[in-house]
Amino acid sequence: MNPAFSVLFFTVLSGAGLGALALIALFDIGAAAGVVAVLMPPRLIALAATIAWLLVAAGLCSSALHLANPKNAWRAWSQWRTSWLSREAVVSLAFMPAAAIYVACWWWDAPPAARAALAVVVLLLAWTTLFCTAMIYASLKPIRQWHTRRVPLNFLLLGHASGALVVVAVLRGHGLAASHWALLAMALFVVAAIGKLEYWRYVRSGQRAVTLEQALGVAHGVRPPAAAGTPPSIMAARLLDAGHSRGTFLTREFVNHVAARRRMWVLAMAWGCGFLLPMIWLAVGLALWQGALLACVACAAGLLAERWLFFADARHTVRLYHGERTT
Amino acid sequence: LDKLKSRGAKFVSINPIRTGYSAIADDWIPIRPGTDGLLALAIVHVLLTAGSIDFEFLARYTNAPWLVIQAPGTADDGLFARGADGTPLIWDEGQGRTTAGITAQSQPSLFAQCTLADGRQARSVLALAAERYLDAEYAPEVVADACGVPATTIRRLAREMAQVAFRETIELPIAWTDAWGRKHAKVVGRPVAMYAMRGISAHSNGFQTCRALHLIQMLLGALDGPGNFRARAPYPKPVPPQIRPHNAAARVNTPLARPPLGFPMSPEDLALDADGRALRIDKAYTWEAPLASHGLMHMVIANAAAGDPYPIDTLMLFMANMAWNSSMNTSGTRAMLTAKHDDGSYRIPFIIVADAFASETVAFADLVLPDTTYLERYDAISLLDRPISEPDAAADAIRHPIIEPDRDVRPWQDVLVELAGRLRFPAFTAGDGTRRFADYQDFIVNYERAPGIGFLAGWRGVDGKRSLVGAPNPNQWQAYKDNKAFFAFHLPDAIKWHRYANLGYLEFAKKVGFVGEVEPIVMQIYSEPLQKFRLAGQGLYAGPCPTDPADRARLTKYFDPLPFWYSPLEMQATDGDAYPLHALTQRPMMMYHSWDSQNAWLRQIIADNAMYVNVATAAALGLADGDWAWVTSHAGRLRCRIRTMEGVEPNTVWTWNAIGKQSGAWGLAADAPEATNGFLLNHLIAEHLPGATPAGRRLTNSDPITGQAAWFDLRVRITRCVEGETGIEPTFGTLAALPGAMPPPGVLDWPATPADAEPAQ
Amino acid sequence: MKLGLVIDLDTCVGCHACATACKEWNGASAISGPLADLEPYGADPSGVWFNRVRHYEVGAFPATKTINFPMSCLHCEDAACVTVCPTGASYKRADGIVLVDQDKCMGCNLCAWACPYGARELDEVSGCMKKCTLCVDRVHDERLPEEERQPACVLACPTHARHFGDFDDPQSKVSQLSAARGGFGLLDELGYKPVNRYLPPRAVPVVAMDPAAPAAAPITPLAALSRLMARARDALSR
Ligand SMILES: Nc1nc2c(c(=O)[nH]1)N[C@H]1C(S)=C(S)[C@@H](COP(=O)(O)OP(=O)(O)OC[C@H]3O[C@@H](n4cnc5c(=O)[nH]c(N)nc54)[C@H](O)[C@@H]3O)O[C@H]1N2
Ligand SMILES: Nc1nc2c(c(=O)[nH]1)N[C@H]1C(S)=C(S)[C@@H](COP(=O)(O)OP(=O)(O)OC[C@H]3O[C@@H](n4cnc5c(=O)[nH]c(N)nc54)[C@H](O)[C@@H]3O)O[C@H]1N2
Ligand code: SF4
Ligand code: SF4
Ligand code: SF4
Ligand code: SF4
Ligand code: SF4
Ligand SMILES: [Mo]
């Protein structure tokens, strides 16, 4: 798939924002239930929540840029019965005001019980939104790299890891050590990395790959006649002519070619910036706002690279009809 | 094809390339280009050996029983033995003697060998043919390598044809009467049919190859019956049609005595002056191309630029992109169009181009006559020209304007009619010396070739009620418009089949002017006109004979009265090791030559072309899909991209015809893919054969019999480009936009038809 | 009703007439026209097409077959392109036709992603998704003569490689053709239940050799000649 930057930004930014808000809400509930310590200090949590909310908002705005006909965007709330994109739109529509009130509760010191009650709503909506976003991709059967449960898992884990990083960054940017948050973030990054490794293993394994021969129906007899008496064999197919000399919507959208070298660099960036740098910073624990900003920017860049690969490595069945041997 | 396949017929494609129709063939025979004649004659060999022959068909409908004089070294050798009135003689088994012609009672001998009344020996055509084709030289095993077709395949093809022709006959309960008055209760079809076009005729052995294919159909008796190749009105015509070409020097203010193109019967019909020089600028009907019934358009510019046979002052081009895809040696041709004499004057002083589009040729014009497009004018697609008839119906058609021209253009046909009137051509001038026809429409309706016969066959007669023959009808155009622009006259069942000898048909055809006489049209296995030219080559002909030994050798070799195969001329003249590959073009189904590239939709489908090479051949040459490569012929080289494919004979490479364009032509952007990635194979095809005759003559790259352009004889080698060598070569700079040309739109979209509008039909 | 097309790979010669006829009809149609063309005379021409013809080869020389392969919307029974659409612009009608309501589409491309076959193309000028309408504005238009109530591509096809009809009706031409010729749906394994059926090339007809047919056993030319002469006499004296 041709990586669309508005969508990359959307999923990375709103993923982090949703992850951060989900974590804050989760601990808020935990604290109210007396399971964990109360989140401190409230002003910085409020700031972190605000930044998270803004990230989600920025992400949603960015996603609107992807629309070729935004004047009809409002209709996207109508098809929640079947469409994950519509569900995402509906849930995020609920999430945004709920989360805004929740953030306000932090700023204006609303009664903790009320805030915790709201936190339940925010948590559920954040998770649902993240899940819906992921399911937009995971529901697409023509793209085997997307059509797997590993995708929602990756989205949830990466959203939470990067969200935790945002909270740590706010705290450390204000000189706090934030060691519990850092530990949590670290753990989330490790699990997310494992999840991502598993995802890539799955993709490489070629499971559920579809071939050009399947796409053309070679097994159905679309092939030269078999010699009398021999069982029909699957013969190799190849594209002779795509029927167009220059680009089409389909080639622009689905058929992208990434040079192996380039892919290597992007992969290195995804691991280095998206996982390694944030984790080093989390471990070293320098409580400086410059470091915090750098870690967040690195993580964002790294996750954009990861998301870029998520798109670039996705091989839609349409590519078969344009001559590729397998998805 | 759909109907044939759904009825279980077998569709065999003999073609080096598997695209288009060949793609859906049940059987694909990837033959080596230029060897179809050999394949056909090997099939003839198998049919004769097996005796799978329709003897009755041969005896009645072909000249198989005609007696050929065997008198080597004399002027009559190889000519038909004829009776007092010129009728060819046959040996009648029943009477045990020769008779002139055939009657209903005749028992013609197919294998006659006899002594004529004057003591000379004679043999029947089939006896000569059988002797030739039964020879081991034509055995499938012998020709297999040259054709690239396994002997078993050749034998199978022949046997399948025989099986279908003789054991799966079709019989229709239609009574008909043959030309000798014999009544037949039914029509019998031997359902084998063959179709061939430029895969055969664009090779320099094409004429003899066509004859070889025709021979198979004659041996099988598979012509114009159910399941056969069938003639379409105004055909069939006698072979050769009784139209001689004009062959005297043109004189001022004097119309030609005969049509400019026709079918010579003997050397006397050549268009040569008293000194043996060509009368026509294209040198058609000379010793170099005696039966040039299509003319040699591809030689006109070269001959004019060389002043050979004579210089010209004006070159008028209409509907032909001669500075590009319809010339051989395109780079050279472009140079010829601007070539000058030593004194600085142009070799072709004045060039007029009538075109509807901004073609490459328009840029060479001194005078451009901007034509209408076919949507903006009247046209007649006449039975007198290239018919659109169906086998079962004589048909013609018109075009009429469906949009108003929005610019300063004039239908070229109107221009021609007006010119002819102003020049007072007799046919265009009334008794009082004024113009006879106001315009093209007037001309088409009112001109009569013979009384009652004009360009359009439908709705004739003053009342518009007559078909095919009738007085001019002033409302004829309207009648066509009222009938969706088509006219069809459906032949009654009884005169639809075996029309070459169908009495009812022949009488009808004479009445409507399709044929001159009610006589059977006898198919010619053995061609006497060819033999006359061959005698001329041997210096034996009792009439004009060529003097140049090169002509004599060619006539002697190629004008064989029986079909035979010879290696295409360019192949003979080039080193097979230096140029090991055949290079062909094909027409893309969605493009008409050069002039569909200006179509916004079609150019999305194909805007550039590459050279297709067999996968294994490419690998052996170190070529990969997408590589740039040099393609070199004896005439030059070009650079293009390579694409590999499986469905092409390994010794053949090919590309689409006329997709490449000059930058800036056709209203396309200067960097359009047609110019940056598209190329013309024509740069490598020379208009002359390599080398010269001992007398210093360059011979045309054409069929030595008909002068048909040998577009497909080309031989090339391919080498991979070195790193960094990319881009099409040769290129010719960017054409400036024509004055007044509108800049092309960046987006094409237009308001949709309202939903409640009447549906278009 | 389950309207759709049968596409006969045994007779498609790859001429693209169906593709251009489609663009002609639908470009002027109120349902989804115009179909914009970008840079129509420039270096990178492209445009919206509902039907594209691609060309493939299967096998290796000489046992290779060229397959011309037209593709348009297959009007799937289980059309994920419809279910993923967030705006409701994409819908499936009771007659089986899958359409995009141009007034509702927001141009998010998700339906194009959900279609395994590349049947949907975004019109960059209008910003809306477009696709084969099965010529809904022809096939039901009672003002047209009945034989013309067919998709433009079907009418244009010179080899009758395209057929239109109702797959719910077992008696319809499309049902019968598909049953008789082993019609299959593209990428059935993805579970979209495409309605359009592709007919694989027929088996090569066998010319059954009559055992009585003379075998072309090798004989000398002379022997062949005398046999031929004998046969000729036989045939002609009958
Ligand atoms: N779409 C479209 N249709 C056209 C035209 C067009 O430009 N576009 N042009 C019209 C005109 S002017 C003409 S003359 C006709 C020409 O019509 P065709 O004769 O069909 O023209 P080509 O495409 O040149 O096809 C020649 C075929 O012969 C094959 N061939 C080449 N050499 C050999 C050989 O030695 N043996 C055999 N067996 N096959 C061989 C080629 O592979 C090719 O498939 O088409 C007419 N129709
Ligand atoms: N390599 C190679 N070369 C070939 C062939 C091949 O197979 N291979 N085929 C040969 C054959 S068979 C042919 S017929 C020729 C064809 O070659 P051309 O006869 O040159 O064919 P077109 O490209 O159709 O060019 C016709 C010209 O007519 C113009 N035109 C179109 N419509 C109109 C109109 O209404 N009025 C006027 N006045 N002009 C109009 C077009 O703009 C164009 O400039 O090419 C030959 N050249
Ligand atoms: S293929 Fe096109 S140009 Fe040729 S006869 Fe048919 S409609 Fe006419
Ligand atoms: S072919 Fe594609 S667009 Fe058409 S119904 Fe099926 S999934 Fe939808
Ligand atoms: S592009 Fe239009 S039709 Fe397709 S899913 Fe989006 S809104 Fe629906
Ligand atoms: S059915 Fe109509 S819309 Fe669909 S491909 Fe055919 S012509 Fe185009
Ligand atoms: S019109 Fe018919 S033959 Fe031509 S590409 Fe389309 S389906 Fe194939
Ligand atoms: Mo031609």
Q: Are strands C63-71 and C52-60 parallel, antiparallel or unpaired?
A: antiparallel
pTM for the full predicted model: 0.96
Q: Which residues of B touch A228 (CB under 8 A)?
A: none
- B17 at A interface, C-beta within 8 A: no
- CB C29 to CB B605 under 8 A? no
Mutate to test the interface with C, among B52, B135, B747 (most CBs of C within 10 A): B747
Residues B568 and B549 sit within 8 Å (Cβ to Cβ): no
State the Cα torsion B266-B268-B271-B276 to the nearest 10°. Answer: 120
Q: What does the pLDDT read at residue B385?
A: 84
The model's pLDDT over B245-301, given as tens digits with 9 standing for 90+, comes to 999 988 877 888 899 999 999 999 999 999 999 999 999 999 999 999 999 999 999
Exposure letters C103-115 (e unless 16+ CB within 10 A, then b)? ebbbbbbbbbbbb
Q: How far is the CA of A223 from the centre of ligand 1 (A)?
A: 25
Query: What span, in angstroms and rounded, lies between the C-alpha atoms of B557 and B757?
Result: 68
Q: What is the per-residue pLDDT across B552-591, written as a single tens digit (0 to 9) for each?
A: 999 999 999 999 999 999 999 999 999 999 999 999 999 9
Subunits close to A (at least 3 CB pairs below 8 A) = B, C
User: Do the Cβ atoms of A58 and A13 come closer than 8 Å?
Assistant: yes
Please state the length of chain B: 761
Decide: A307 and A285 in contact? Cβ < 8 Å.
no
B545-563 pLDDT, tens digit each: 999 999 999 999 999 999 9
B79 and B69 in contact (C-beta within 8 Å)?
A: yes
**What's the pLDDT score for residue B386?**
81
> Is the pLDDT score of B749 beyond 90?
no
DSSP letter assigned to residue B74: S
Q: In the structure, what pLDDT confidence band is assigned to residue B326 with cuts at 50, 70 and 90?
A: very high
Own/partner pairs, A176-180, CB within 8 angstroms, 24+ separation: A176/A41, A176/A44, A176/A287, A177/A285, A177/A287, A178/A287, A179/A285
CA distance B668 to chain A (A): 15
Is C64 within 8 Å of B646 when comparing Cβ atoms? yes
CA distance B408 to chain C (A): 23
User: What CA–CA distance (Å, rounded) separates B620 from B170?
Assistant: 49
Predicted local distance difference test score (pLDDT) of residue B761: 42
Residue matched to tokens 């018109």: B398
Distance between Cα B591 and ligand 8 center (Å): 13
B-contacting residues in C 170-199 (Cβ below 8 Å): none
| CA distances for B567 relative to B136, B355, B564, B575, B580, angstroms | 18, 38, 10, 13, 14
Long-range contacts, stretch B276-279, CB < 8 angstroms, 24+ apart: B276/B546, B276/B547, B277/B309, B278/B309, B279/B247, B279/B248, B279/B249, B279/B250, B279/B309
Q: What is the DSSP letter of B494?
A: G
Q: Using the structure block, give the residue that is written with the tokens 């670290």.
A: A186
Task: Please give the residue of chain B at the shortest CA–CA distance from A248.
Answer: B604
For residues B464 and C237, the model is more confident at B464
Distance (angstroms) between ligand 8 centre and the Cα of B197 equals 10
pLDDT above 90: residue C37: yes
pLDDT of A268 over the 80 cut: yes
CA distances from B703 to B277, B417, B559, C116, C220 (A): 20, 34, 11, 53, 34
CB C109 within 8 A of CB C122: yes
Give me the pLDDT at residue A231, please.
Answer: 63
User: ∠ CA B688-B689-B695 to the nearest 5 degrees?
Assistant: 90
Percent pLDDT > 90 in chain B is 93
C-alpha distances (whole Å) from B475 to each of B430, B446, B461 are 21, 11, 10
Phi, psi of A265 (to 5 degrees): -65, -45
The β-bridge partners of C165 are C4
Q: B190: closest CA among B229, B226, B156?
A: B226
Give which of C35, C39, C41 to mutate to test B binding, by max B Cβ within 10 Å.
C41
pLDDT score for B239: 85
Q: Does C158 touch chain A (CB under 8 A)?
A: no
Residues from chain C that touch B26, judged by Cβ atoms under 8 A, are 202, 204-205
Report yes or no: A199 and A76 within 8 Å, Cβ to Cβ: no
Distance from C-alpha of A255 to C-alpha of A247, rounded to nearest angstrom: 10
Q: How confident is the model at residue A194 (pLDDT cuts 50, 70, 90)?
A: very high
Which token pair is C151?
């998709």
pLDDT digits 0-9 by tens, B3-18: 999 999 999 999 999 9
SS3 content of chain A, % helix, strand, coil (to 5): 70, 5, 30
* pLDDT computed for residue C30 by the predictor: 87
- pLDDT given at position C214: 55
Mutate to test the interface with A, among B604, B641, B656 (most CBs of A within 10 A): B604
- Of all protein residues, the one whose alpha carbon is nearest to atom 6 of ligand 5 is C108
What tens digit of pLDDT does each residue of A111-145 get? 989 999 999 999 999 999 999 999 999 999 999 99
**Residue B288 Cα, ligand 1 centroid: separation in angstroms?**
25
Strands of B426-543 (E only): list them: 448-450, 453-454, 486-490
Between chains, do B668 and C41 touch, taking CB under 8 Å as contact? yes
3-state class (DSSP) for residue B419: helix
What pLDDT, on the 0 to 100 scale, is given for residue B758? 61
Q: What radius of gyration, in Å, describes the C-alpha atoms of chain C?
A: 25
> Rounded to 5 degrees, what are φ and ψ at B174?
-120, 120
Contact state of C182 with A235 under an 8 Å Cβ cutoff: no
| pLDDT number for residue A179 | 87
- pLDDT tens digits, residue range B48-73? 999 999 999 999 999 999 999 999 99
DSSP state of C59: E
Residue of C nearest to B608 (CA): C43
CA dihedral angle for residue B364, residue B370, residue B374, residue B378, rounded to 10 degrees: -130
Instruction: Quote the CA–CA distance of C123 and C125 in Å, as a whole number.
Output: 5
Ligand 5 atom at minimum distance from C114 CA:
5
Q: Which of residues 202-221 of C touch B (CB under 8 A)?
A: 202, 204-205, 207-210, 213-216, 218-219, 221
Rounded CA separation B604/C45 (Å): 6
The single-letter DSSP state of residue A273 is I
| Alpha-carbon torsion (B94, B99, B102, B108), positive or negative | positive
Q: What is the pLDDT of residue B759?
A: 52
Q: Which atom of ligand 5 is nearest to the CA of C101?
A: 3
Task: Read off the pLDDT band of B757 (50, 70, 90).
Answer: low
- Residue pair B364/B338 in contact by the 8 Å Cβ criterion: yes
Please name the residue of chain B whose CA is at the shortest distance from the CA of residue A243.
B605
pLDDT at A233 (0 to 100)? 67
Residue C175: CB atoms within 10 Å = 19
Asked whether residue B754 carries a pLDDT value surpassing 70, the answer given is no
Q: Where are the beta strands (DSSP E) in B393-481?
A: 393-399, 448-450, 453-454
Are the beta carbons of A54 and A177 closer than 8 angstroms? no
Q: What is the pLDDT of residues B376-414, one digit of tens each?
A: 999 999 998 888 999 999 999 999 999 999 899 999 999
pLDDT of residue B742: 83
- Determine whether the interchain pair A245/B646 forms a contact, defined as Cβ–Cβ distance below 8 Å: no
Per-residue pLDDT for B752 more than 70?
Answer: no
Best CA proximity match to B216, nearest among B43, B33, B346: B43
Q: In the structure encoding, which two tokens stand for residue B92, read together?
A: 């009648």
Sign of the CA dihedral with B389 first, then B175, B92, and B222 last: positive
Interval C42-56 mean pLDDT: 97
Return the C-alpha torsion angle B524, B526, B527, B532, nearest 10.
-150
pLDDT of residue B756 exceeding 70, the answer is no
Distance CA B357, CA B595 (A): 8
Distances (CA, A) of C117 to B112, C106, C190: 68, 21, 11
Cis peptide before B236 (omega within 30 of 0): yes
Q: Out of B26, B647, B673, whose CB is closest to A245? A: B673
Q: How far apart are CA A275 and CA A285, in angstroms?
A: 15
Query: How far is A2 from chain C, CA to nearest CA, in Å?
Result: 11
Report how far residue B349's alpha carbon sits from residue B628's, in angstroms, rounded to the nearest whole number.
Answer: 39
Beta bridge partners of B523: B62
Instruction: Name the residue with tokens 């010396």.
Output: B433
Touching subunits for chain C (3+ Cβ pairs under 8 A): A, B
